[in-house]
Structure 1
Amino acid sequence: MDYVTFIKEIKEKVEELVQENLEDCTVFVHDIIKNNNVRMRAISIERKNDMATPNIYLNDYYSQFKKGRNIDDISKEIFEVYLDSSKGLINEVNINDLRNFSKVKKRIFYKLVNYNMNREMLKTTPHVRVLDLAIVFYILVSYREGAQAVTMIRDSNIKEWGIDLSRLCVTAYENTWTKYHPVIRRMEDIISEMILDSIVGDERDEDNDDGDLIKEETCYGGYTYAQVEDMVKEEMEKVKLDRNMEMYVMTNEDKSNGAACILYPGVLKKFADKVGQDIYIIPSSIHEVILIPAMGWDTKEIDEMIREVNRTQLDPVEILSDHVYVYKRETEELGY
């Protein structure tokens, strides 16, 4: 079965489930142009008067189908994903509000995208260019933990609102800096947490501070969570000393579009002053960046590493840039 036929059959099966369980709903398949001009086919279930509805992408499901998963099973999962995603996703902005700047101005935020990879989108989108990046703006339509619905702000929006780009920038900057606080953590702390999660799983009792013994088959046997945690941290410190390098990850508290934190006022300066050096900024994704105290490395080699990771390891939608940035502590400038 080819992709077109697969989509047709999935849509029919999902429509059957919707008709049996919901009222006033429409099922439709459409193309979504995402960040970096990535085009993806999605299925959506739209209820009457809904401002936002989850887009459920079909490419991965087609891969599962080709590996033997059946249509009925996939269709049921898509329907369940819709129910789960829409359960707590409350529409906080209705369609009429979008035409009134005063009603949406507190919900306007910004994020960073790659300029060249989004040239087509930027033709009709207000933006500010920064190096090889662009600041773009969006309205947070609805939100719940782990999920949010947004709509990009277009040239037609600010024209209808009667505002200019400068007013939009001031509004978005203030809202973003206030809501999405920056977070900087040591890389080894993040890796330690990942290792601990893989070792103990759900065995740790979050409400028990006494350090219950971890089940023997889960880790090393006979050790408390605190003891295992200390061992992992000790090993990570050895790795750091061997490499003689400090690495930090910067994102925001939501871990979404956190690369925008590099433009927060004073954030890079405060960090550079703390480590007493210029800073290399590796754009690991649109959601986070890696900060490394400058050590005189060849930035062209770092660029090659970034390009390799972007092309082989990262979802194309999440690529931010192929270049490392340098923050100069003395001049307080961000550049290549």
Structure 2
Amino acid sequence: MEYTEFKQKLVSNLQDLIGTRYLVSVQKTDFTENLEDFVVIFDSSELVMRCSKMAPIYEIHTNHKVPPAVLASALKASFGIGEDSGSINKSRVFYRLENLEHVQKEYKDIPYQRFLDLAIVFYINLACTEDSIQSRRITNSMLRESKLSISDLMSLANKNTPQMFPYTLRPMEDAALDILDNNPSLLNDPKVRVSLMLMFGKEVGLIPEEEYTSRYVLSCEGNLYGSTAILYPELLG
């Protein structure tokens, strides 16, 4: 089956399986150097978007002759669609830091906890790869049905999140060089050029060590939700 026809059949089968609450489409993204097709599922009830690369799905179809209908069922299962809405797998609860104003305005029926000018939002990890995660936002109704509290979610997430997304701590110099390697156009920014001059001035001895403030970048492996690492218990200390 040609790729264009396969995409249409996969979307049609998946849409029929999961119903009108979800909107299924194929979108091109530029997350990588080349444009790639992703099958995207938008949950209009919980305002959650899930996606998966189309290329490996089509490869399974062509190499193993798996019909689009069967692959659509597998996608539905992998995203956890149709499972008990009140089921919270405690070992897969994690948190993210998000914009407080956006959370209060856009998210409905979800538990969250304020942190400075941000919001701690809780999720269930459905599937995780090296560079992406498929997750489901926890709602107040799920919380009630599971007889859990926000305090319970914080305790679970404090335990689970550092294991799911181990932190990384690197000197600013290393992080800056990686960023510039991926986006050389940043060199046009005067502030970036000044920072580089200071950085290399210290390295070659033009700036005394005592006059240079060391800076570090705290993130997570894979750079997934890196800001969340500041919540990890005792880590900043």
The normalised TM-score by structure 1 is 0.44
Deviation of the 1:126 alpha carbon: 0.3
> Is the Cα–Cα contact under 8 Å of residues 109 and 175 in structure 1 kept in the other structure?
yes
Cα 1:53–1:245, aligned 2, differ >3 Å: closer, same or farther? Answer: farther
Cα distance in 2 for partners of 1:26, 1:248 equals 44
Identity of matched residues, %: 26
Residue 256 of structure 1 aligns with an amino acid whose one-letter code is L
2:128 pairs with 1:143? yes
Task: Give the direction of change, closer, same or farther, for the CA distance of 1:95–1:249 in structure 2 (3 Å limit).
Answer: same
Instruction: State the structure with more CA Rg.
Output: 1
Answering whether residue 203 of structure 2 is matched by residue 237 of structure 1, we say yes
Cross-structure match for 1:99: 86
Corresponding position of 2:158: 173
The 8 Å contact of residues 131 and 224 in structure 2, kept in 1 or not, is answered as no
Structure 1 residues 91 and 191 mapped into 2: Cα distance closer, same or farther (>3 Å)? Answer: same
| One-letter amino acid matched to 2:170 | R
Cα distance between partner residues in 2 of 1:84 and 1:239: 50
Deviation of 1:142 after TM superposition, in Å, equals: 1.9
Structure 1 189/49 Cα, relative in aligned 2: closer, same or farther at 3 Å?
Answer: same
Pairing 1:134–2:119 present: yes
Residue 11 (structure 2) aligns with: 26
Greater CA deviation, 147-156 or 45-54? 45-54
* Amino acid paired to 1:262: I
Report the secondary structure of 2:120's partner residue. Answer: strand
Q: 1:110 to 1:86 in 2, by over 3 A?
A: farther
2:49 is matched with none
Kept in 1: contact 2:79–2:134 (CA 8 A): no
Q: Counterpart in 1 of 2:219? A: 251
CA deviation digits over 1:271-326, x for unaligned, max 9?
xxxxxxxxxxxxxxxxxxxxxxxxxxxxxxxxxxxxxxxxxxxxxxxxxxxxxxxx
How does the TM-score come out when normalised to structure 2?
0.60
Distance between the aligned counterparts of 1:246 and 1:264, measured in 2? 22
Question: Which residue number in structure 1 is paired with residue 71 of structure 2?
Answer: none
CA distance in 2, matches of 1:52, 1:141: 19
Coordinate RMSD, CA, aligned: 4.3
Partner residue of 1:185? 170
* Contact 1:188-1:236 within 8 A present in 2 as well: no
Assess, with a 3 A threshold, how the Cα gap between structure 1 residues 196 and 128 changes in structure 2: closer, same or farther: closer
Where relative contact order (Cα < 8 A, 6+ residues apart) is larger, the structure is 2
Name the amino acid aligned to 1:265. P
Size of the alignment, in residue pairs?
A: 186
Distance, in Å, in 2 between the alignment partners of 1:52 and 1:86 is 19
Q: 1:236, CA displacement in angstroms?
A: 7.1
CA distance in 1, matches of 2:3, 2:114: 46
